[in-house]
């Protein structure tokens, strides 16, 4: 007599919804939906092998957490985060976007140059003094955010 085919274990819908919400939450924090739009309920149901009701329950959880917004005809998208901090705190990009999206830098140029007149004036140096020039492209997830150009006095170190 042949052995019966094993059947996959089914979890209660609440457990499945919690799992789907956990995965989506992780993906949102990792910047997977940096463009803002999430797949449709039908696509998510197919991706996770669950019912649309399970997906709706997971999305409701994420909406209650403030991670997503849902609306008729607008679909489901990542909520824009509101960043609030006191004026007494100076936060960098990494601190500002912690838990939302990875911030990373691509150093494009680092070299010793003659200070342009405006830079020499701001750094209280003689015109043409040698300074360290750093140009870096800053990313939020995989999206370019800013091109930063920094001039440092040469007493901070060598190139």
Euclidean distance between CA atoms 157 and 159, whole angstroms:
7
Residue 17, pLDDT score: 93
Q: Mean per-residue pLDDT for 76-94? A: 69
* Least confident interval from 34-38, 115-119, 120-124: 34-38
- The chain-wide mean pLDDT, for the chain, equals 83
138, pLDDT greater than 50: yes
When pLDDT is averaged across residues 54-79 and rounded to a whole number, the result is 89
CATH topology assigned to domain 13-78: Arc Repressor Mutant, subunit A (1.10.10)
Q: Which of 87-96, 106-115, 141-150 has the highest mean pLDDT?
A: 106-115
Distance CA 60, CA 76 (A): 11
Structure tokens at 10: 């089914």
Per-residue pLDDT of 3-46, as tens digits, reads: 555 444 467 888 899 999 999 998 888 778 877 689 999 999 99
pLDDT surpassing 80 at residue 147: yes
pLDDT band for 84, please (50, 70, 90 cuts): low
Dihedral class, residue 75 (left if φ above 0, else alpha if ψ from -120 to 50, else beta):
left
* CA distances, 13 to each of 42, 53, 74, 130 (Å): 16, 8, 26, 66
For residue 17, how far is the Cα from the chain centroid? 24
Residue-range domain boundaries for the chain: 13-78, 93-156
């Amino acid at each position: 007599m042949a052995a019966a085919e094993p059947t996959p274990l089914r979890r209660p819908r609440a457990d499945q919804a919690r799992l789907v919400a956990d995965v989506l939450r992780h993906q949102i924090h990792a910047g997977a939906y940096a463009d803002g739009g999430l797949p449709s309920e039908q696509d998510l149901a197919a991706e996770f092998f669950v019912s649309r009701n399970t997906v709706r329950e997971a999305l409701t959880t994420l909406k209650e957490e403030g991670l997503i917004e849902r609306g008729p005809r607008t679909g489901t998208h990542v909520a824009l985060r509101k960043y609030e901090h006191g004026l007494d705190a100076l936060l960098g990009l990494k601190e500002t976007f912690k838990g939302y999206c990875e911030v990373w830098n691509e150093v494009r140029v680092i070299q010793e140059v003659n200070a342009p007149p405006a830079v020499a004036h701001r750094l209280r140096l003689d015109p043409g003094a040698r300074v360290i020039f750093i140009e870096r492209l800053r990313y939020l997830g995989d999206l370019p955010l800013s091109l930063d150009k920094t001039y440092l006095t040469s007493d901070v170190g060598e190139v």
